[in-house]
Structure 1
Amino acid sequence: QHSQIQPLGIYFSQNTDQFGNINLINKNLGFSKARHYVLSFDHTINKYAKFKTEIYYQDLFNIPVSANKMNSFSTINLINGYPSDSLSNKGTGSNKGIEFSLDKSLNKGFYYLASVSIYDSKYKGSDGFSRNTKWNGQTAFTLTAGRELEVQRKGKQKILGFNIKMIRAGGFRETPINTEASKAKGETVNYDNRAFENQIPAYFRTDIRLSMKTNHKKFVGTLSLDIQNLTNRKNIYGRFYDARTSSVKTYYQTSLIPVLSYKVEF
């Protein structure tokens, strides 16, 4: 079991009463708490490879939710910003799932790590309804692999490297936008009773790294090229109501990013 402090900004949430006094409405908010249950199985295939299975369950409680309103809000789903309402530690949640991983350490210049996860993430706000959390993508797959090749050139040892990482994960959840209410208010208004009902498309990203490490007499130099999001996949981050165009717009995560670097080690 462990406890977690809330983001500090929550404790400094304030309002002004009818007499003009400023009150810190969440200064006495307690810690979120969780109980963890894990069952794992490890199998060594050979000297360099092993397989692991893990089943887990997290029981989340004392999660801050709205104190004076019956709604779907919970700090479990916070990404940025802080609530302006009074909160109480009456929310709950749970995470459960199973993970499989296959790991091969570096041998003869080759390594890999593959993992698959199937999970479910739920929470309850002050209204008591069980809902998906924002993070409930339900599936995730990752593959990391690399190849190293040693060569000799002009009396210097060089290590050429190629590494790749692939991620495919179920999309996060989002709350449908009430376009009529958004239009009337001039900003994004969501359907609170349909919190995190929709799922955005799956997240996919491929990163690669090409490198050349050279052993000099007094130092080791590594020239590398990293390309993030190699396929330039347009992964959706979220949607918002644009008052200027009176329409719902989509915004995306980062596109293809190349990074060239040189590192010196003494």
Structure 2
Amino acid sequence: PRLQAIYHLGAADRIRLAYGLHSQQQVLPVYLADSQGDAPLLKAHHFSLAWHRQWSDAFSMQLELARQDLFDVPVAVSVNNPFSVLNITDEWEVGNQKLTFEGSGRNYSLELTLQRYMNEDFYFLLAGSLMRSRYKAADGVERPTRFDSRHTLNFTAGKEFKKQKGDKLRTRGVNLRAVWLGGLPETPVDVPASQLAGTTVYDHSRTNTLRQADYYRLDLRLYVSKSREGRRSLWSLDIQNLTSRKNEQYHYYDVVQGKVAAKKQLGLIPILSWRMEW
């Protein structure tokens, strides 16, 4: 269920207060690992308070304060294991451990969004937020989740240049997207244990106590389309990670070098495509 109340302060301003109770089904390995046999859905109370201002037909601003309180969260049965599904990015991370649904979590954020809708062939969207994401496992200790970036900043903009000649329309366009995320939490590598095992072993007694470097990425898209009655062709060049920055993905124990190393994400990725529509 979801409840929402909107109060108009005038022609340009409105306040929105909302509450929702949401549930989410988990991946199959979570239910196979259920130690109780009566697995509930993960649930969350969502609260939000927002102020929206419409400066013009093409330009608006929104400031939103939000909070989520999660419960019935699958966590490891053992109090010595800080595992929670709130940290997983792939179902294989569940493994063969036994789970209970007594974990919890909370997220809260303050987000500012400035948006110019497509007007005179130009648009942009700027969104920044301050946020925290925390969870509790079976031991009741509150820790940052794997996704607790603390701050995010996203900027997207685009411009089109159109030329009409008879029944033919040629459009040239450019889109730019920039992302800045705070460094994500990470569990440190247990070097002595990794040396003995000959593979990476993490120190789960210090789960999510380290921080990766901040994440930066810049994407560029150039395109040309030609349209006439009944069909349209589109050439586009997408350049992902324009600056070829290799952000950190995770750290592991390199058995060859005998030390902890960083796994990097991919650098610049160009994608050229052509599409015909009828």
Q: Does 1:30 find its partner at 2:30? A: no
Match of 2:194 in 1: 182
Name which of structure 1's ranges 143-152 and 228-237 shifts more when overlaid on structure 2.
143-152
Q: Is the 8 A contact 1:238 1:252 kept in 2?
A: yes
Match of 2:84 in 1: 74
In 2 relative to 1, CA 217–68 (structure 1 residues): closer, same or farther, beyond 3 Å? closer
Residue 27 of structure 1: how far off its partner (Å): 4.9
Match of 1:2 in 2: 22
Q: Is the 8 A contact 1:10 1:26 kept in 2?
A: no
Structure 1 runs of 4+ off > 6 angstroms? none
C-alpha distance in 2 between matches for 1:155 and 1:3? 51
Q: Specify the code of the residue in structure 2 equivalent to 1:61.
A: F
C-alpha distance in 1 between matches for 2:147 and 2:64? 20
Q: Is the 8 A contact 1:2 1:34 kept in 2?
A: yes
Q: Is the 8 A contact 1:175 1:192 kept in 2?
A: yes
Q: Specify the code of the residue in structure 2 equivalent to 1:9.
A: P
C-alpha distance in 2 between matches for 1:122 and 1:10? 20
Match of 1:56 in 2: 66
C-alpha distance in 2 between matches for 1:231 and 1:173? 24
C-alpha distance in 2 between matches for 1:184 and 1:99? 46
Report matched runs for 1:213-252 at 5 Å: 213-252=225-264
C-alpha distance in 1 between matches for 2:32 and 2:137? 21
Residue 33 of structure 1: how far off its partner (Å): 1.1
Match of 1:210 in 2: 222
Residue 265 of structure 1: how far off its partner (Å): 1.6
Q: String of CA shifts for 1:109-149, please: whole Å, max 9, x gaps.
A: 11100000100111111111111111001000000000111
Structure 2-normalised TM-score? 0.87
Q: Does 1:132 find its partner at 2:144? A: yes
Match of 1:162 in 2: 174
Match of 2:54 in 1: 44
Q: String of CA shifts for 1:33-87, please: whole Å, max 9, x gaps.
A: 1100011110001111000011000001111111134331111101222232111
Residue 243 of structure 1: how far off its partner (Å): 2.7
CA RMSD of aligned residues (A): 1.7
Q: Specify the code of the residue in structure 1 equivalent to 2:263.
A: Y
C-alpha distance in 1 between matches for 2:238 and 2:26? 36
Secondary structure class of the residue paired with 1:166: strand
Q: How many residue pairs get matched?
A: 256
Secondary structure class of the residue paired with 2:86: helix
Secondary structure class of the residue paired with 1:9: helix
C-alpha distance in 2 between matches for 1:259 and 1:89? 44
Q: String of CA shifts for 1:83-107, please: whole Å, max 9, x gaps.
A: 3211101111100011000110111
Residue 156 of structure 1: how far off its partner (Å): 3.0
Q: Specify the code of the residue in structure 2 equivalent to 1:226.
A: D
Residue 238 of structure 1: how far off its partner (Å): 0.4
Return 5+ residue gaps in structure 2 as ranges: 1-20
C-alpha distance in 2 between matches for 1:68 and 1:179? 24
State percent identity of aligned pairs: 33
Q: Is the 8 A contact 1:11 1:26 kept in 2?
A: no
Residue 193 of structure 1: how far off its partner (Å): 1.9
Secondary structure class of the residue paired with 1:182: helix
Return 5+ residue gaps in structure 1 as ranges: 14-23
C-alpha distance in 1 between matches for 2:232 and 2:169? 10
